[in-house]
Structure 1
Amino acid sequence: MADTSLIIIAEFETTAATRKPFLEACLEDSIRSVTDEAGCSCFDVLTTSDEPDTVILHEVYDSPAAFEAHQATPHFKAFSNAVNTLKVRTVSVRKTTRNATA
């Protein structure tokens, strides 16, 4: 049976001044997504030591419809507002599917 999961890999670029408030917005979106949305099974907020102003989100949804539902939630709207208010640059948002697991 085909895996219908939708995996989002989103990368953002912050600044020294916006990093902390943006990470707080990401954390709230992450917690609310996994806690409140039946269709979200994973939401990781990732950073790297060599690029401290880069934030990567790894999100796993049961289906594309579950991701669409996520985008209609109040916590996603608050996250989106934070991106705009803080002027965080969206580097990329990739919608991927799982082809194999080990």
Structure 2
Amino acid sequence: MSKFAIVATIKTIPGKRSEYLTHLRAHAQRCLATEPGTLKFEVLVPQKEDDTIMLYEVYASPEAFEAHWTGPSVQQAKQDTTPLRVSLSGVRCDFAE
């Protein structure tokens, strides 16, 4: 299987983006350090959307993403951030060859 990417958009409760980012940065570091199939985890903040965060994540395979999604770091991140979030959506993307 080939690698693929996730592009996600998170809408935070107004005024909570900074707090959410603190938890999200810790999550990204945990994933990159402990999940061999997590190849990239970039956190982006749109310039004109104060309560929005975007993610660009690259995984070695669909199985690596499933291991990430069901793993302990995601569970911790959900516990830390769910009260700060309005919505979360993501799109699975293939790389153009």
- TM (norm. structure 2) is 0.89
Q: Measure the CA separation in 1 of the matches of 2:85 and 2:9.
A: 14
Contact 1:10/1:57, CA 8 A, preserved across alignment: yes
What's 1:99 paired with? 96
Residue 15 of structure 1 and its aligned partner are, at CA, apart by 3.2
Unaligned runs of 5+ in 2: none
Contact 1:8/1:59, CA 8 A, preserved across alignment: yes
Aligned residue among 47, 50, 58 for 1:49: 47
Alignment of 1:43-82 (within 5 A): 43-82=41-80
Say if 1:99 and 1:6 are closer, same or farther in 2 by CA, change over 3 A: same
- TM (norm. structure 1) is 0.85
Residue 86 of structure 1 and its aligned partner are, at CA, apart by 1.9
Q: Is 1:24–2:22 an aligned residue pair?
A: yes
Q: Measure the CA separation in 2 of the matches of 1:61 and 1:93.
A: 14
Name the % identity.
Answer: 30
Unaligned runs of 5+ in 1: none
Contact 1:48/1:54, CA 8 A, preserved across alignment: yes
Q: Measure the CA separation in 1 of the matches of 2:20 and 2:51.
A: 10
- AA of the residue aligned to 1:59: E
Residue 70 of structure 1 and its aligned partner are, at CA, apart by 0.4
RMSD (CA atoms): 1.5
Q: Measure the CA separation in 1 of the matches of 2:85 and 2:47.
A: 22
Corresponding residue pairs, total: 97
